[in-house]
Structure 1
Amino acid sequence: MSRERRPIPEAPVSRETRRRLDRFRDLLLAWRERINLIAERDAAAVEQRHIADSLQLLPLLPAQGAVADLGSGAGFPGLVLAIATERSVHLIESDRRKAAFLLEASRLLGLPHVHIHAARIEAVPLTGMAAVTARAVAPLRRLLPHAVRLLGPGGVAIFPKGRTAEAELTDAAGDWKMTIERFQSRTEPDATILRLSDIRRAGA
C-alpha cells in the first residue's frame, strides 16, 4: 500500500464560527493562568498550533454522525470541531480540572451538542460513533482498542501523528488490520493525519 500523503481539502468556516473560535481562544488563554491547559511557549501560537491544527480535521469527518474525542485536554481537536459543526461531540477527559474548563467553555460558547465525560476512556459507555479523534494522547496500538469499541459500522478514526506515524502503524500491524488513508498536515510539514476505517483484530 502506498505511503503517499494526500492533501486535505480546504474547509472555510463561517464568520459566526470564527467569532466563536476567537472567544474560545480568549477563554483558553484566561484559564491557562489557573491550570496547565497549554504550554507557556504555545500561548502566542495558539491560533496556528492548536486551532488551525484541529480545524484541518473537519473535512476528514464523515458527513454525519456523532464524534468522540479521546483525551480532549484543552479541547483539541474535539471542542474546535464542535464549534465548527452542529453534530453531537463527546469530549472524554479524565483530568477533572480540564474537564471543568471544557464544560465551562461549551456553556459560554453556547454549544448544547457538546457532552463532557470526566472519566477514563475505558469507563465511558459510548458506542455507535461515526468518528473517533485523538491528538497527542497515546500511540496507535493503545488507541485502536478504544476506537473499535466506540465506533459504529462504517465509522472512522482520525488521528493526527507526527514523525512517528509510520513506526506506529508498523508496531500495530501485527495485531490490527485496517484501511489506512494518509493526509499531509497543513500546519506541521512533518506530520501525518491518519484516517483509519474497517479496523479489526488480526485474524478476526
Structure 2
Amino acid sequence: MIDLPETLHVSRETQERLEAFVALLEKWNPRINLVSSRDIVSVWERHVVDSLQLAPLVAGQERFIDMGSGGGFPGVIVAIATGVAGTLIESDQRKAAFLREAARVTQAPIKVLAERIEQVDLVPAPVVTARALASLSKLLEWTAPLLEKQGKALFLKGQQADEELTEARRNWHMNVRIHRSITSHDGVILEVSNLERV
C-alpha cells in the first residue's frame, strides 16, 4: 500500500477495496501473468495510481466500457473508485475469470465479457476506456460502435501519443483534450470526444 496523491484521495473503504484487489492480483499473477513480474513490486505506483487518474473523468457517469481489461487496469480500479458500473471486455478466458473474481472480492459494480472487442454487441456507453492495449487508430476503430454520440473515450498513452494522434487524424475527426499523467513524465490521458470517421 502507498499513500495516494492528494489529487486522487479516496475513502478508507475504497482504499481497503483497492488493497483487496492488489492482494488478489498478487495471488493470481504467478499463474496467468496479469502484470509483468518486475511490475508486481511497483503495482501501486505503476498500475493502480495510473488507473486512478481516470476516476475523476468517469465519476458521475451512468456507466462505462473498458476494452482489453487484462489485469483490471483501468476497469476494476475505476469501478472501485467511482462506483460507476463498468462492462469489462477481455477475450482471454483466464484473465476474464480473474476479473470476475475481482468483482466478487471487491464488490466492484462490473460485468465481464469474455469476448473479442470486435465481436461484442453492446449498447453504446457514455465513456469508453483503455490502457496499454493498442495504437490510437486501432482503439478508435473499436471505440466507435461502443461510444454514445455525445460520449468520451479515455486512453492512457505513453511517449508515442503525439505520433499516434497524427496518424489517427487521417481517418478520424475528433476533439482531443490532453491531460498530463502524474505517474509518468511522458504519459498522457487522451480524452476524445465528437468522434467521427473522415
Q: TM-score, normalised by structure 2?
A: 0.94
Deviates more, 1:169-178 or 1:60-69: 60-69
- 2:39 paired residue number: 42
Residues 182 and 194 in structure 1, CA contact (< 8 A), matched pair in contact too: yes
**Counterpart amino acid of residue 33 in structure 2:** N
> What is the 5 A alignment of 1:46-85?
46-61=43-58, 63-85=60-82
**Counterpart amino acid of residue 98 in structure 1:** K
- 1:107 paired residue number: 104
Higher helix share: 2
CA RMSD of aligned residues (A): 1.2
Aligned CA distance change for structure 1 residues 139 and 45 (closer, same or farther; 3 Å): same
Measured after TM superposition, the shift of residue 60 of structure 1 is 1.8
Greater length-normalized contact order (CA 8 Å, ≥ 6 residues apart): 1
Helix, strand or coil at the partner of 2:98: helix
Aligned CA distance change for structure 1 residues 15 and 83 (closer, same or farther; 3 Å): same
Q: TM-score, normalised by structure 1?
A: 0.91
Residues 62 and 130 in structure 1, CA contact (< 8 A), matched pair in contact too: no
* Whole-angstrom CA distance in 1 between matches of 2:143 and 2:55: 18
* Whole-angstrom CA distance in 2 between matches of 1:33 and 1:169: 35
Measured after TM superposition, the shift of residue 31 of structure 1 is 0.4
Residues 135 and 159 in structure 1, CA contact (< 8 A), matched pair in contact too: yes
Question: Where in structure 2 are there 5+ consecutive unaligned residues?
Answer: 1-5
- 2:129 paired residue number: 133
**Counterpart amino acid of residue 161 in structure 1:** K
**Counterpart amino acid of residue 33 in structure 1:** P
1:186 matches 2:182 = yes
1:168 matches 2:167 = no
* Percent of aligned pairs sharing the same letter: 47
